[in-house]
Amino acid sequence: MSILEMKVPSPGESITEVEIATWLVQDGDYVEKDQPIAEVDSDKATLELPAEQSGIITLKAEEGEVVQVGQVVCLIDMDAAKPAGSTAEAPKEEPKAEVKKEEPAPVKAEAPKVETYAAQTPSPAAKKILDEKGIAPSQVTGSGRDGRITKDDAVTASVPAMGSAPAGGNRGQSTTKLSVLRRKIAARLVSVKNETAMLTTFNEVDMSEIFRIRKQYKEEFAAKHGIGLGFMSFFTKAVTRALKLYPDVNASIDGDFKINYDFADISIAVSGPKGLMVPVLRNAENMTLRGVEANIKDLATKVRDGKISVDEMTGGTFTITNGGTFGSMLSTPIINPPQSAILGMHNIIQRPVAVDGQVVIRPMMYVAMSYDHRIIDGKESVGFLVAVKEAIDNPVEFLMDGDERKALEL
């Protein structure tokens, strides 16, 4: 018998453990080679685990279990024959259909009772904690296998408030364990607040010229390049230009040392099914507007399809996030460590502004830059954001060298 032991591969450098987020197959299923059999969460991304060979699979780890890189999580019997799935066997089963009265239906009917009982049964450790708190198992929703109450469920369970519940309305609640990725993000966000001297400076940009350029060239641009002309390419190029003018913004702290980067690897925040991801545009300073749009589209597609790799999200010297896509008017974005600054874009609102002594209506956007004051002074942060503003207000002069068609490669 040829049995393959499938071990957890290393998703990337410095990652030593992952969590089995979801099994995509069941114990005893026949799997094909390269078929996705599980989704695993690391502290950087959610990745699919493909079957290494075809055969009958035996699961050796449960959903929610944290396993080490290199640990065996399933076995595949490569000698097992693939189920035929033909209808030839169906006639053999038909005579048995006549013995309906002798089918053990009552036994099957009892199965839900067993599951319900298991769902209300705490583990020994959980029972002890619940007894100490004076909480009945029926008042706790289990997150373990088949709804079993785990120790974590018991620890987070709270004593019901005194007094009668109000008439009407749903009083239910549920407890869900955070994924490894979400727990890592939470820890990093807290560390940023605790370990950096983060400040935020604000400004506003006039989107009129970018609106005009997109309206004038978007159809020709899409026809020639096969991609849309969006806002992010203009902001990315505005950022790479500003980073050259203010190199201390393109830096990070390593102990007692400051590291300055001669390149601009721009992390672009993208919302995916597993949460916010930040794939990186490598050497964005050398990209054209078309190149930025093409790379962002490719990375965003990978994020939304769950195909993004850890390497494609590792690194980055500066981050751009666009809360405006969700309707945010103003925010203080949190730095993406070990970077030292982040630019936050927001929604675009038609607002009255004063231009040459006259009140006019313009499409305006608030922008925010959060920065680590340990290595970036107020002068540099404000100057950087002003440089971004002037490039967005006047992209033809500052981003296109006065030639719109050439810059758009038309």
Listed residue (308, 282, 317, 322) closest to 44, CA to CA: 308
Q: What are phi and psi of 20, to 5 degrees?
A: -75, 100
Q: What are the tokens at 161?
A: 């408030």
289-301 per-residue burial string, b: 16 or more CB within 10 A, e: under 16: bbbbbbbbeebbe
In the residue annotation, 225 being an active-site residue is answered as no
In the residue annotation, 373 being an active-site residue is answered as yes
In SS3 terms, 304-356 reads as: HCCCCCCHHHCCCCEEEEEHHHHCCCCCCCCCCCCCCEEEEECCEEEEEEEEC
Q: What are the tokens at 105?
A: 């239906």
Q: Is the dihedral of CA 392, 394, 396, 402 positive or negative?
A: negative
Q: Cis omega (within 30 of 0) on the bond before 279? A: no
Do 77 and 55 touch, CB atoms closer than 8 A? yes
The residue annotated as part of the active site, out of 373, 393, 401, 403, is 373
Q: Is the dihedral of CA 154, 25, 83, 76 positive or negative?
A: negative
In this structure, how many other beta carbons lie within 10 angstroms of the beta carbon of residue 392?
26
End-to-end Cα spacing for the chain: 63
In this structure, how many other beta carbons lie within 10 angstroms of the beta carbon of residue 272?
17
Do 393 and 205 touch, CB atoms closer than 8 A? yes
The residue annotated as part of the active site, out of 131, 146, 377, 401, is 377
Do 44 and 12 touch, CB atoms closer than 8 A? yes
CA angle 383, 384, 390 (to 5 degrees): 85
In this structure, how many other beta carbons lie within 10 angstroms of the beta carbon of residue 371?
28
d(Cα 45, Cα 276) in Å, to the nearest integer? 10
Q: What are phi and psi of 243, to 5 degrees?
A: -65, -30
Which residues are marked as active site?
373, 377
